[in-house]
Amino acid sequence: MAVERTLSIIKPDAVAKNVIGEIYSRFEKAGLRIVAARMLHLSREQAEGFYAVHRERPFFNDLVAFMTSGPVMVQALEGEDAIAKHREVMGATNPKEAAPGTIRADFASTIDENAVHGSDGPDTAKTEIAFFFREEEICPRTR
Ligand code: UDP
């Protein structure tokens, strides 16, 4: 299987619950390596830009308000089959439908405030990583 990179965001609800470390631990146990990371408080423009594909959806304004309600932790993850593996440890978008033991099942309660974001395919992963990190800020593991 190919080594991939994916973009992960720990959203404001999970940062407020103080579970960044617990979520990082899930990534590491799944064989995902953190190769870049930054904490930031998204501006409205950044949140609107990041979620531009959802602009016409009824939940767009609430989503932007939520994503700017507090700091987020953003990371690029690397590993074999990283995009699908990351989606697997995240669980379904709606925490009520997320498999037991997944991040969303354990740390989120509603579809609007669902703890984490993960890229959904190779093209999105590339664009989303570039949204937050310059190539020289990414530190692939060489040992
Ligand atoms: N979302 C929401 N209400 C909905 C559906 C989605 O607030 O009814 C938000 C939620 O935060 C979700 C994000 O929009 O994580 C992006 O939705 P998508 O369907 O792409 O889910 P994801 O890829 O995050 O699982």
For the chain, give every domain's residue range: 3-137
Residue 117 annotated to the active site:
yes
Crossing angle for the helix pair 20-29 and 82-90, nearest 10 degrees? 130
Q: Does position 9 have pLDDT exceeding 90, yes or no? A: yes
The predicted structure's pLDDT at residue 1: 82
Which residue's alpha carbon is nearest to atom 15 within ligand 1?
93
* Per-residue CA distances from 102 to 28, 36, 99, 125 (Å): 14, 23, 6, 21
| ipTM (interface pTM) | 0.97
The predicted structure's pLDDT at residue 139: 97
Mean of all residue pLDDT scores within the chain: 97
114 is in an annotated binding site: yes
Instruction: Tell me the pLDDT band of 5, cut-offs 50, 70 and 90.
Output: very high
- Scan for tokens 């405030």, then name that residue: 113
Q: What is the pLDDT of residues 51-70, one digit of tens each?
A: 999 999 999 999 999 999 99
Topology at the third CATH level for domain 3-137: Alpha-Beta Plaits (3.30.70)
Q: Give the other-Cβ count within 10 Å of 98's Cβ.
A: 20
* Per-residue CA distances from 72 to 2, 34, 40, 64 (Å): 29, 15, 6, 13
Q: What is the pLDDT of residues 71-100, one digit of tens each?
A: 999 999 999 999 999 999 999 999 999 999
Q: Which residues, at least 6 apart from 102, have a Cβ–Cβ distance to it below 8 Å?
A: 88, 89, 90, 91, 92
Q: What is the pLDDT of residues 124-133, one digit of tens each?
A: 999 999 999 9
- Scan for tokens 């531009």, then name that residue: 52
Q: Of 86, 97, 114, 120, which is best to mutate to test ligand 1, by the most ligand atoms within 8 angstroms of its C-beta?
A: 114
Distance CA 115, CA 10 (A): 6
* Per-residue CA distances from 78 to 33, 81, 94, 101, 111 (Å): 5, 9, 25, 21, 26
